[in-house]
A = this chain, B = another copy of it.
Amino acid sequence: MSGPRWLEENQHSTWVNFLAAATILNRRVEQQLVTDSGLSARQYEVLVMLYSAPGGSLRMTDLIGVGRTTKSGLTYQVGQLEKVGLVRREACATDERGVVATLTDAGWDALRAAAPGHLDLVRELFIDPLTDEQFTALGSALTALVDRLQNQPDGE
């Protein structure tokens, strides 16, 4: 009569809370960005990555980053950004196969305009609710998780 080996109660609630927190935070952040600056969260993330890169330029492959998006997802989003003039796409000089995305002046302006409201919300919903100890511990746990997820992409 013993079905599957379910999770222990605290394991289950932690997992459920993780999924819930991630979903709700993603939704709230998305809403705020779209409403206040017309950018989606993914687009904002692309702009930030370009802003942080030397020369405001990055290969598509490098823009994929930490797993927030896939190759085709990125192609789509950069396409959207290019359509509204926030990003420029050019062939890569050293590798004819590659494409380099570059932040335009308008993209720079859009990022600068969007950042304050976005960062306020992140502080309000993600940073301020936690004590310093909680935040630090969360950081360490997330580092361990991301390491695991990146280094053993598949089963074992």
Residues of A in contact with B (beta carbons under 8 Å apart):
3-7, 10-11, 13-28, 45, 65-68, 112, 115-116, 119, 122-123, 125-127, 129-130, 134-149
Are B126's CB and A130's CB within 8 A?
no
CA–CA, A25 and B148, complex, Å: 11
| Chain B residues whose C-beta falls within 8 Å of the C-beta of A13 in the assembled complex | 139
| Chain B residues whose C-beta falls within 8 Å of the C-beta of A21 in the assembled complex | 142, 145-146, 149
| Chain B residues whose C-beta falls within 8 Å of the C-beta of A19 in the assembled complex | 22, 26, 45, 68
Q: Chain B: which residue is nearest A142 at the CB level?
A: B17
| Chain B residues whose C-beta falls within 8 Å of the C-beta of A66 in the assembled complex | 16-17, 20
Are A145's CB and B116's CB within 8 A?
no
| Chain B residues whose C-beta falls within 8 Å of the C-beta of A3 in the assembled complex | 112, 115
Q: Chain B: which residue is nearest A128 at the CB level?
A: B148
Are A125's CB and B139's CB within 8 A?
no
A23 in contact with B68 given A15-B126, A127-B11, A149-B125 (CB within 8 Å) = yes
A141 in contact with B145 given A3-B112, A23-B68, A67-B23 (CB within 8 Å) = no
Are A148's CB and B129's CB within 8 A?
yes
Q: Chain B: which residue is nearest A126 at the CB level?
A: B15
Q: Chain B: which residue is nearest A154 at the CB level?
A: B28
